[in-house]
Amino acid sequence: MKKQLIYLLFLIPLTTMAQSKNFLDVAYLETSAQVDTLVAPDRIYLSITIKEQDSKGRKSVEEQENKMAKELKALGINIDKQLKIKDVSSNFKNYFLRSKTVLKSKQFSLLVYDGLTAGKTMAALEDIGIANTYLERTEYSKMDELELELKGNAVKKAKQKAIALTKPLDQKIGAAIHIQDNSQPYYRAMATPRMEMKSMAMDSAEPLDIGFEKIKVESTVKVTFKLL
């Protein structure tokens, strides 16, 4: 029994070495490929800040908020789904060393789906005295599906390259024996993209048509094929 156990322990390392050696003896070809595309953002986030004015006839945050809601609804924006409160704060200032006045502010995040609506929104808010509005970020809603599609296209391109490399040698490629995905994930919390006014009419009643920088998405893979 002891002799059999010793024999098995001795045989396992030899078997492992033989398997490793067989893998190293396989003729293979390694190729890499990269594909990319540009997509127009379809989720545009605007940051809106409403502040009470430090003046005698100041407008309250609530009054400005109601005016903003009215303007957004007039533009066809669903404020229950597209408008979110980000922050509420109050600043205390002393007057005549005794009395105190509370100045409140509210910050919102507004989601719109195209540049024209974003332009109309910014123009409408400016008309009612809410000018502290800026582009926060842009996103593409079908990013996950797009990334998977690009990965598949990158693998196909790697196979095409492998076929092109082996054809002059009268050889063929077999099954892929190793695939490595070197793609960098797309981070949604990216820096603020560039924004440009594509057209601005002299008449302030005309909406602003805003164009946004397209989002670049890329995928890189490395594929190892067995040579036949």
Instruction: Report yes or no: 202 and 6 within 8 Å, Cβ to Cβ.
Output: no
Please report whether residue 12 resides in a domain. Answer: no
How far apart, in whole angstroms, are the C-alpha atoms of residue 101 and residue 87? 20
Same domain, 116 and 228: no
Same domain, 156 and 171: yes
How far apart, in whole angstroms, are the C-alpha atoms of residue 110 and residue 48? 7
Residue 219: CATH number of its domain: 3.30.110.170
Q: Is 197 helix (H, G, I), strand (E, B) or coil?
A: strand
How much is the pLDDT for 19? Answer: 47
Please report whether residue 84 resides in a domain. Answer: yes
Same domain, 180 and 220: yes
Least Cα distance to 122 among 81, 75, 179 occurs for: 75
Same domain, 31 and 118: no
Same domain, 32 and 95: no
**Stretch 184-193: mean pLDDT:** 61
Mean pLDDT lowest for which of 75-79, 102-106, 159-163, 186-190? 186-190
Same domain, 48 and 124: yes
Instruction: Report yes or no: 146 and 140 within 8 Å, Cβ to Cβ.
Output: yes
Same domain, 34 and 62: no
pLDDT classification of 141: cutoffs 50, 70, 90: very high
Kindly report, residue by residue over 24-55, the tens digit of the pLDDT.
578 999 999 999 999 999 999 999 998 876 54
Residue 56: CATH number of its domain: 3.30.70.120
Same domain, 49 and 124: yes
Same domain, 130 and 157: no
Please report whether residue 6 resides in a domain. Answer: no
Instruction: State how far the alpha carbon of 203 is from the alpha carbons of 20, 52, 71, 114, 133, in Å.
Output: 76, 29, 19, 22, 21
Same domain, 122 and 53: yes
How far apart, in whole angstroms, are the C-alpha atoms of residue 130 and residue 59? 11
Same domain, 160 and 223: yes
Domain that holds residue 144: 26-40+140-196+214-228
**pTM of the model as a whole:** 0.71
How far apart, in whole angstroms, are the C-alpha atoms of residue 37 and residue 216? 6
How far apart, in whole angstroms, are the C-alpha atoms of residue 222 and residue 181? 6
Structural domains counted in the chain: 2
Please report whether residue 83 resides in a domain. Answer: yes
